[in-house]
Structure formats: C-alpha cells, structure tokens
Amino acid sequence: MNDFHDTHSVGEAGHLNVATQNESAGLVFPPQGGVTGHSSYVTHIDIAGHEISSQEDESGQGCHVAQPVPAALDNSASAEPGHCSPDVQTESAGLSHSGQPDGSDHNRDETLKSTVAADNSSVSPHCAADTHSRGGADRRFIDPQVMQIVQLHRLRRRWLKARNSLVLQGKAICRSFAAGDKVAGSKAFARVMDGKPTEADAFVEMALMPFIPAIQKFDAELTMIENQMVKLAKKLPIARWVNDVRGLGWASVAAIVGEAGDLSAYPTVSGVWKRLGLAVIDGGRQRRVANAEAALEHGYSAERRSVVWVMADSMAKHQRTWIDKETGEIKKAPGPYGVVLETEKAKALAKEWTPLHAENHAKRVMSKAVLRDLTLEWRKVAAQ
C-alpha cells in the first residue's frame, strides 16, 4: 500500500536510477529559505547524506558544511511572507535551532542549547532572537539515516509539484480544445495519457506531445524515490513497533520523518504535535490564520498537516471495528487506536456535531495518540 499523499499515477517508463546515480555523482541540495544576511552555499551530498564538497556560489561567498550535512530546512514552502518560518520557531519543536555553518570546526562541534519553557503549555508567539546562531546543530536533523529520508522527502515534494504543474497545464490545453468544458478536457487528457486517444483527440495528442514523456518520467522517478524512502524508514529504530501497528504504512512513517526529523530529539510530545499541525493554541486547533502575529504563533504548514491526514485516513480504515453489513456480525475487533477513534467520534456525535465533523475530530485525536506513542517508543529505543 502506497500512502504517500498526492500520489502520482501515470506512466512507468524511463527510469533514472536515483539511488545509484546519487551514490556515484551526488545530489545537489541548495539551502532553501535561508536567513537573509548569511552566506549562501551549494553542497554536493551523496545518498547517505554526507558532504562530498562545498563550493562558492555565484555571489562568490563560500561556506563549509559539517558532516553529516545538517538539514537545509525548506522554510520557503510554508513560511508566511515576512515572518520567521515554522521550521525555525523555538516553540514549534521545543528546540532552539542553531548551526549556521561558518567554517569553524570549534563552532560545529558545540552542543545544541535548548530553550524549552518550564511550562510546556505556555507557547511564545515570537521567534528566538537568533534562530540560526553560530555553533551546534539541530538534533532533529543530525542522524545520517534520518537526513537521507529528509532530503529524499524534500526532493520528492519539489518533483511532485513540478509534475502536477505539467498535468494542470496539459489539462488546460485539453480544455481549450473542448470549448472550456473541464469534464470533457479532463477525459481527453486521460485518454491521451493512457495511450487510448480517439480520432477526435488528434490535435490534443499533438499538443500534449512534449508533456507526456515528461510526466511519465516524473512518475517513474517519484516511484523510485518513494521506494527508497520506505527502504530507509524500515531501518529506523522504531521499525519493530511500526510493524505491530495495524494500518500504519511505511510511506506515512517516511513522510512524517521527512517533515519532522528524528522524533526522539523533541523534548516534548507536544513539540511533535505542533510541528505536524496538531497543537492546541489559545483553546483552538492549530491552523492557518490571517493575523501576522497569530500566524507566527500557530506556525502552521498545510503540507505537514496533510502527511498526518493521510496517515490517519489509512489507519482509520484498518483500526475500526469491521462489521458485516448484512448480518451485523463483528468480523474484526477494533485495534487500540480504533477504540480511540470510535470513542471520540461517539462523544462528538453526542454533542450533536455533524458526522463529518465528528469523524475528522476523532481522526485528529487518534493521530495525536499515534504520534505520542511513536515518539515515546523512539525515545525508549534511542536510550538503550
């Protein structure tokens, strides 16, 4: 079962072996969303997440990166304009981020200084004064195996956006041949992509000629990356625990690690919840808000939240009580997280919530329980 969100579905041709080519030539991961005023850099990274070399960028500024390479957190995808990204919010993960490389071996070896509030329920709406201060590194993104998953996840996310952009452009072309009819345009696009065009699709097929191989290429490479992420996730210390949880797919585990890093490095479970969009702030759920100061406090990323939503959707199907619709006989008892799901949904329905609202609320509570147990298990194994 592939439970990566926004899963691609078209084409299988034209594989570029990501894993083997990365090992031989190295991937280039430029830092995203860097802090203004710091030197930019380009680092070549092999598939194990270790630095091969560093070089100056076009501006002539150079920077040395520690080994294994610390995460170049992709803040640009989720930060509100003009605000500190949720990636560097102290309260977002319960950590003080540091580790801006400066070429000093001494500073690279300094330990991370945490700024964890004594009362975990109190959340500061402000970023740390210097979220990329010199010295140390973000402990969530130090482990080489975790970093491999993080870098592959970010690469997958960028490629998926590029692939989906091509699909949307292709469908727009098809609509132009269908007098603006979205349904007819989408059907024509599907026929051509499936290799089953009709005579009426001749011009559409010609217009999509450069799109088809590009989309198929992306699909093949995305599948390669997803398989590699799952392979790496199965080597994590929490592998045995994950295998025992019904409905928790390895693709979801890989995506969670890709977004949040090493869960055992979070001082509190609530830090994991906030990182993944499940926190309670000022008595309400963490979400996207318009107010600038409130948005900074919420630190919400729809992409990170969607990873948890996909995990919850899969687990809900496998953890529920299975009942025969004809006889009413219970075919399978609920799993431990299914009990949480059904109990919370029943409570919400008793308050006269709509069924959909109650279902979403129950999935949210179940997701928090899963992430809590996953974090605690990772901590326990890491301490051994």
181 located within any domain: no
215 located within any domain: no
Structure tokens, 89 = 């919010």
- Confidence grade of residue 325 (pLDDT, cut at 50, 70, 90): confident
- Confidence grade of residue 8 (pLDDT, cut at 50, 70, 90): low
Question: Prior bond to 68 cis, omega within 30?
Answer: yes
CA dihedral 293, 285, 118, 257 (to 10 degrees): -100
Question: Is pLDDT of 19 > 50?
Answer: no
- Confidence grade of residue 120 (pLDDT, cut at 50, 70, 90): very low
- Alpha-carbon distance 81 to 290, whole Å? 11
Q: Is residue 260 within 8 Å of residue 272, measured between CB atoms? A: yes
Proportion of the chain above pLDDT 90, given as a percent: 53
| pLDDT score for 234 | 96
What mean pLDDT is reported for the chain? 74
Q: What is the mean pLDDT of residues 51-66?
A: 37
Question: Is pLDDT of 65 > 90?
Answer: no
Q: What is the mean pLDDT of residues 114-136?
A: 35
Domain span at residue 319? 14-144+237-384
Query: Which is higher by pLDDT, 53 or 161?
Result: 161
The 3-class secondary structure across the chain, one letter per residue, is: CCCCCCCCCCCCCCCCCHHHHHHHHCEECCCCCCCCCCCCCEEEECCCCCEEEEECCCCCCCCCCCCCCCCCCCHHHCCCCCCCCHHHCHHHHCCCCECCCCCCHHHHCCCCCCCCCCCCCCCCCCCCCCCCECCCCCHHHCCHHHHHHHHHHHHHHHHHHHHHHHHHHHHHHHHHCCCCCHHHHHHHHHHHHCCCCCHHHHHHHHHCCCHHHHHHHHHHHHHHHHHHHHHHHCCCCCHHHHHCCCCCCHHHHHHHHHHHCCHHHCCCHHHHHHHCCCCEECCEECCCCCCHHHHHHHCCCHHHHHHHHHHHHHHHHHHCCEECCCCCCEEECCCHHHHHHHHHHHHHHHCCCCHHHHHHHHHHHHHHHHHHHHHHHHHHHHHC
- Confidence grade of residue 310 (pLDDT, cut at 50, 70, 90): very high
**Domain count along the chain:** 1
217 located within any domain: no
Q: Which of 13-17, 55-59, 69-73, 284-288 has the highest mean pLDDT?
A: 284-288
Question: Is pLDDT of 367 > 70?
Answer: yes
Question: Is pLDDT of 121 > 50?
Answer: no
Question: Is pLDDT of 349 > 90?
Answer: yes
205 located within any domain: no
Q: Which of 52-56, 133-137, 138-142, 363-367 has the highest mean pLDDT?
A: 363-367
Query: Which is higher by pLDDT, 351 or 66?
Result: 351
221 located within any domain: no
264 located within any domain: yes
* Lookup result for tokens 């977002």: 92
Entry pTM: 0.64
Using one digit for the tens of pLDDT, what is the confidence trace for 263-275? 999 999 999 999 9
Question: Is pLDDT of 58 > 60?
Answer: no
- Confidence grade of residue 219 (pLDDT, cut at 50, 70, 90): very high
Using one digit for the tens of pLDDT, what is the confidence trace for 156-200? 999 999 999 999 999 999 999 999 999 999 999 999 999 999 999
8 located within any domain: no
| pLDDT score for 4 | 65
Question: Is pLDDT of 312 > 90?
Answer: yes
Q: How far is CA 186 from CA 10, 39, 162, 181, 307, in A?
A: 14, 46, 19, 9, 27
- Confidence grade of residue 361 (pLDDT, cut at 50, 70, 90): very high
35 located within any domain: yes
Partnered with residue 98 across adjacent β-strands are: 133
